[in-house]
Amino acid sequence: MSTRIIDQAANVFADPSAYADEAKLHAALAHLRANAPVSWVDVPGYRPFWAITKHADVMEIERANTLFTNSPRPVLATMEGDDQQAAIGVKTLIHMDDPEHRAVRAIGADWFRPKAMRALKIRIDELARRYVDQMVAAGPECDFVQEVAVNYPLYVIMSMLGMPESDFPLMLKYTQELFGSDDAEMQRSASLEESMAVLLEMFAYFNDMTASRRATPTEDLASAIANATIDGEPLSDIDTVSYYLIIATAGHDTTSAVISGGLHALIENPDQRERLRANMDLMSLATEEMIRWVTPVKEFMRTARADTTIRGVPIAEGESVLLSYASSNRDEDVFGDPFRFDVGRSPNKHNAFGYGVHFCLGAALARMEVNSFFSELVPRLESIELTGDPEHIATIFVGGLKHLPIRYSLTG
């Protein structure tokens, strides 16, 4: 019988409000890294799991993708949430393992490779300019998250999918309700049934999209997915819809959280803002630092397929491990002065995009969006300050700021 290390600090992983309070969250994570880096969490409402907080352990687990699989529990959810999702049958890339995962991932992969991204750059630079111009028009004050940051990545990903612009607000509402489902302000209602209703409405929307792209293929990503075949067979309806769902949801809340959190960091660190403005060649490093700093995807999970050990702690077959990116990207063993926001940080081995076979499909796109936005904004920024307290979303999975009230002056 193995002894399980239990540390109450690890209960933060099942506490959405902890993620809304960065100081509380990072105090708990730093404590765990130092004292209980592989800690057993057994809290009411959740199936138990191991919380992994050291960068090296997260990487080791991600690398061992046959020993630690994504199925059947790719992210942390309540027991009830797990069961309802399983009942609906959502099966996206994050729910799959090889060889199925590899075949399905290949369908969308070309759309997100650096080569495809280079072709998109002019368009993304244009959009970045459009949203910075909108800031000028809305100025001198705005809630940067709600008025700017949520719209720009949404526009990019929905255009790639091939959705009509008139439906973008609906998609924004759905994804915010889905990811914000632990936050009283963002959720449709507190009940799980209502969260599931959001998912079912999205399914109905996407089913119509599959039918129309199969009837009349176009040049967009939705058509590529709807008309793809594996071993000569098209994807099932549920697999097609799941593909849209992961692209539509993963593709914007994450990036917009980095843009909001990145701007917040530049406001809080005027020396770093000036440094970047004086040397815009730092933008690629600054982009990586913003992604590390915000780490909008807080965790993913894996399940052990055989008895094993992590950092000497026995993990039994069938037990799940939560990979805390929020913690690993502040790991003192990997990042010098991890709580310093440094636009020139190099090396910067963050794992905010995960690692290995599930490495974020949209990483190159996300990097380009963040880079283009700040390349446009920073040189035009004459002054910027907060006009109220920034607020974070309550979540245990994906999120960042939900309000960033600012006053600013930009050149026209």
Select the span of 76-84, 123-131, 204-212, 247-255 touching ligand HEM (CB under 6 A). Answer: 247-255
Asked if 246 is part of the footprint of ligand HEM (rule: CB under 6 A), the reply reads yes
The binder of ligand HEM chosen from 18, 59, 76, 94 (CB under 6 A)? 94
Among 361, 393, 396, 406, indicate the residue that binds ligand HEM (CB under 6 A): 361
| Cβ atoms within 10 Å, residue 114 | 11
* Site residue total, ligand HEM (CB under 6 A): 29
Asked if residues 374 and 355 have their Cβ atoms less than 8 Å apart, the reply is: no
Considering only 175, 254, 324, 328, the residue that binds ligand HEM (CB under 6 A) is: 254
In angstroms, give the least distance from the CB of 72 to ligand HEM.
15
Contacts of 360 (CB under 8 A, 6+ apart): 250, 353, 354, 366
Cα(120)–Cα(244) distance, integer angstroms: 20
Q: Tokens 């176009």 map to which residue?
A: 218
Q: Binding of ligand HEM at residue 399 (CB under 6 A)?
A: no
CA distance 329 to 326: 6
What is the x/- site pattern for ligand HEM, positions 104-123, by CB under 6 A?
-x------------------
Rounded Cα gap, residues 23 and 44, in angstroms: 24
CA 396 – CA 78 distance, rounded (Å): 10
Piece in contact with ligand HEM (CB under 6 A), picked from 22-30, 138-146, 309-317, 358-366: 358-366
Does residue 225 touch ligand HEM according to CB under 6 A?
A: no
**Which parts of 136-165 interact with ligand HEM (CB under 6 A)?**
157
Region class of 242: left (phi > 0), else alpha (psi between -120 and 50), else beta? alpha
Q: Which stretch binds ligand HEM (CB under 6 A): 22-30, 127-135, 353-361, 399-407?
A: 353-361
All residues at 6 or more sequence positions from 409 whose CB lies less than 8 Å from its CB, including other chains = 139, 140, 381, 382, 383, 384
β-sheet bridge partners, residue 38: 52
Site residues for ligand HEM, 29-68, by CB under 6 A, read: 62
In whole angstroms, how close is the CB of 396 to ligand HEM at the nearest point? 14
Give the nearer residue to ligand HEM in terms of CB position, either 14 or 248.
248
Q: Specify which residues 320 forms β-bridges with.
A: 303
The binder of ligand HEM chosen from 273, 298, 358, 392 (CB under 6 A)? 358
360 binds ligand HEM (CB under 6 A): yes
CB 336 within 8 A of CB 40: no
359 binds ligand HEM (CB under 6 A): yes
- What are the φ/ψ torsions at residue 314 (nearest 5 degrees)? -70, 130
The residue ranges that bind ligand HEM (CB under 6 A) are 62, 93-94, 105, 157, 246-247, 250-251, 254-255, 258, 291, 296-297, 300, 325, 352-356, 358-362, 365-366
